Amino acid sequence: MMKSTSLNTDIHLPLGHPGGTDDLNYATGITLIPRIHSVSPNVGSLGGALIVAEVRGFGNMTDAVTLVNSAGVDICASVTNTKYGELRCLTKEGLVIADGPLSLKIGTSSYTCTGVAANSCNYQTSSTLVTVSAISKTSDNIISITGAGFSAYSGSSSPFFKFASIKADSVSVASDTSATATFNNGIPLTSGTVGVKGQLYFQENASSKQQWAYFDSTATLINTPSVTAIDSAVTCSFAGGCSVSISQAGLLSSLIGDSTKNQVRVCG
């Protein structure tokens, strides 16, 4: 490019720049300037929300990218980049965020919103969006979920539920305060005497945006094994190869859902 004819020229790098920018402005040299133009949605649950930010200067080779609030606090539990110009941030559970603009942070540098529309980068949490006050076991396969704000998302979004990090096969919203999660292979098992929280979230059918329910500290469930022996005695050689059956509801869910942590050992 000739300097006399290339002032104010923008060059875009589709995969982003390793330093975190893709917008090059030529003046007396090359200045690399990251951009954030908008975030959506602008209001999220205290339980966490998957928000989508329109950004520039964010690519597959960019490290240490996140979103921060006006106080400089990192609001993202995780950040992903699925396509050019889009950053997905899963906000931290329980983090209260006052209404205000978010900034793009790359490394130790932060960059404020450059969106055209007013408040296009604003975000805040709300304690009234989706909450869960209790979960209970109603059968070997079904968990009942009690809370508030479920029906607000039941039309435009699909509900999902996880227990012990294992996703339910189906979730049904009965009302604004009631839902059920069904595990075809039984409710996953837990260990110990401490209750385990579930995870309920709603994902928009037309996008990847999610709203995660905020769980009260008492909204937990204990589902420890009730079977301590195999169904019937088996005589087997030292070479092994014998079939052993265990009739424990939820065991199959736990084994299929996470075979690295959940295992069956037969000792005799």
- The beta-strand segments (E) located in 57-118 are 65-68, 76-83, 86-91, 100-101, 103-106, 109-111
pLDDT value of residue 233: 83
Show the low-confidence residues of the chain (pLDDT under 70).
1-32, 58-61, 240, 267-268
Q: Is the peptide bond before 14 cis (omega within 30 degrees of 0)?
A: no
Write out the DSSP string of 117-151.
STTTTEEEEETTSSEEEEEEESSSSEEEEEEE--T
Contact (CB, 8 A) for 162 and 155: no
pLDDT value of residue 232: 86
pLDDT value of residue 237: 73
- The beta-strand segments (E) located in 178-233 are 178-182, 196-204, 210-212, 214-215, 220-221
Contact (CB, 8 A) for 44 and 51: yes
Nearest partner of 60 among 96, 104, 15, 123, judged by Cα: 15
In the three-class reduction of DSSP (H, G, I as helix; E, B as strand; rest coil), residue 251 is classed as helix
pLDDT value of residue 3: 46
Contact (CB, 8 A) for 202 and 153: yes
Question: Structure pTM?
Answer: 0.75
Cα separations (Å) of 157 from 52, 67, 149, 202, 207? 16, 25, 13, 6, 9
What the block records as the tokens of 67 is 């979103």
In the three-class reduction of DSSP (H, G, I as helix; E, B as strand; rest coil), residue 4 is classed as helix
Q: What is the pLDDT of residues 136-149, one digit of tens each?
A: 999 999 999 999 99
CA distance 189 to 187: 6
pLDDT value of residue 95: 94
Cα separations (Å) of 47 from 12, 107, 178? 36, 26, 17
Tell how far CA 70 is from the center of its chain. Answer: 23
Give the number of other CB atoms < 10 A from CB of residue 205. Answer: 10
pLDDT value of residue 235: 80
Give the number of other CB atoms < 10 A from CB of residue 3. Answer: 9
Bridge partners, 124 (sequence order): 43
CA distance 229 to 99: 56
Q: What is the pLDDT of residues 194-224, one digit of tens each?
A: 999 999 999 988 887 899 999 999 999 999 9
The side-by-side arrangement of strands in the sheet containing 103-106 is: 65-68, 103-106, 109-111
